[in-house]
Amino acid sequence: MRLSLQVQYAICGCFDLAYNGRGEPIQIRVIGERQGIPPRYLEQIFQRLRRARLVESKRGPGGGYTLARPSTEITLREIVEAVETPARRPRARGAREPLSAYRPTFLWPKLTERMAQVLEATTLESVCREAAAAAVRRADPQHMYFI
């Protein structure tokens, strides 16, 4: 199973905030550079995350994005559902569609639920712990000077 590019970018962006943010705002440009994501596209994704109240934005000097809640409280399911519409149940098939009788349509809701359970059980904090165990490099703290 493969997640859409938008979902992958949303997870990478939120991971970057959790792993490198240290509670300080990070600019989209910086996240995009570290994660290899076009900043304009990432900004659109972060607007959805903001509307879902997963991230907060701060304007002005020293501005950027932070997580709206601790990383222990944000699940990958929330991120996926903020970016994509939640999975919907397949609609009922009419009598004019005889092939549906030969398809395992009962399987899709079960698979969707299992995937949702895995995403619900995975927090950003657990992803950060796995990243640290896998020796994923952390960004150096950036010092910003304003004159």
- Taking a C-beta distance cutoff of 8 angstroms, is the pair 42, 31 a contact? yes
pLDDT on residue 105: 83
The closest alpha carbon to 65, from 20, 35, 128, belongs to 20
Answer yes or no: is pLDDT of 9 > 80.
yes
pLDDT tier for residue 98 given thresholds of 50, 70 and 90: low
Domain chopping of the chain, boundaries: 5-133
pLDDT, mean of residues 18-25: 92
Task: Report yes or no on whether pTM surpasses 0.85.
Answer: no
Average pLDDT of every residue of the chain? 87
Measured in residues, the chain has a length of 147
Whether 96 has a pLDDT exceeding 90, the answer reads no
Q: What is the pLDDT of residues 47-80, one digit of tens each?
A: 999 999 999 999 988 899 999 999 999 999 999 9
**Within the chain, how many helices (H) and strands (E) appear?**
6, 2
In this prediction, residue 94 carries a pLDDT of 52
Give the pLDDT score at 147: 45
Percent of the chain at pLDDT exceeding 90: 68
Decide: 115 and 3 in contact? Cβ < 8 Å. no
Task: Give the pLDDT mean for 73-101.
Answer: 72
CATH architecture of 5-133: Orthogonal Bundle (1.10)
Using CB atoms within 10 Å of the CB of residue 43, give its burial: 0 to 12 exposed, 13 to 18 middle, 19+ buried.
middle
